[in-house]
Amino acid sequence: MPQFELLTQADFVLNSCGRPVPPPGLRHIDLSYIIPYQGSVAAGSVAGPTQGRVANNERTVFFCKGVVMQNDTKVKIKWPNGRFLTQNPLPVNASPFGAPAGRGGNMYTLNEPIAVDAGGRIGVEVSGAEGDTDLEFWGVLRYWINETDANAARAANAGSCIVGYSTPARTPGKLEMMENPIAALRSRDRLLCGPNQNIMAPEFLLGNQCTPETPAGYSDEAFTFFSDAISVAPGASSYDNAIIVQGADDTVVRRFRVLTTYSGSASGIPVVQLRDPSGYSVTGGDLIPFASFNTWFPMFPSLVVRGRGRRIILDVANILAAGSGLITAQIEFDAVKRRKV
């Protein structure tokens, strides 16, 4: 049987960029692994929020590739590197958007795996109403083996799976693991949403065409996202509302519209300003009235929101307001995700 050698952080060497890498002659194998987190807020208690954590108790690094959420509470996840999965707590099963509702395979898949070293801890902030918090961090444990043992492992496992699963016939001499679900999804052909492909269809079915062309070397895929619903009383205002744009790819906003609802006897016209953290204001530094419910406003030039958790800042107020109750505004963005090909 091959002898596996578990490396420690002290065994790694620095490459020319100063990044720790395994020494020459080593290979690694990844074993599927799940780190669960469970907690609850008792009935009648106030989640204020409370802080929890879960640790990687294995002897090697764990690479988290996705998170399954089955919660009654709001959660905010902090990775060991100090970064958060989202800036704000995720509203579970909330309307219109929150964490995936339901059970089973409702998972947030991460664009890049998050490394959790042996003994490293993932922070979980819980807030909201009473209920249970159930999280599952899906990923792999990575074990390093030297070149001699790697060759022996390939020979020993030519007809069986090293993780102990019963598997169909495979190419002899190849060290195989369980199929990575993320890699399998990425390898499939992408079915892109788009306009009616009937060449005899009328021109208006091609959608909003007053947009820049996709630059060479990139592909654009339709992407729609919303702000939170922001409610203000007649004559009041709400500033500095952050809209987090998820994903590692750039998002190009091409148009937007303001959806407005009223409660009680409130009346008035919502006024909105869009800006980014650099200080650039889409609306020229002013709060612009949006009286029509479903009118799209083209974004000229297109607003580019860089990937990895960048945000748009939203300011909301109202004019010609009267009555009592709330005026609620929500922004719908028509955009594309721009990826390198």
pLDDT, position 167: 32
Contact 243, 303 (CB under 8 A): no
Q: What is the spatial distance between Cα 11 and Cα 146, in angstroms, rounded to a whole number?
A: 12
Q: What is the spatial distance between Cα 319 and Cα 232, in angstroms, rounded to a whole number?
A: 11
Q: What is the dotted CATH code of the domain comprising 206-340?
A: 2.60.120
pLDDT, position 210: 53
Q: What is the spatial distance between Cα 5 and Cα 143, in angstroms, rounded to a whole number?
A: 8
Mean pLDDT by 10 residues, the chain (341 residues): 53 70 72 88 65 90 87 85 84 53 62 88 84 86 68 46 33 44 66 59 56 80 89 92 87 90 90 90 89 75 81 92 91 90 82
Please say whether the structural domain 9-186 has been given the CATH code 3.30.1120: no
Domains 9-186 and 206-340 share a fold: yes
pLDDT, position 220: 86
pLDDT, position 328: 92
pTM: 0.46
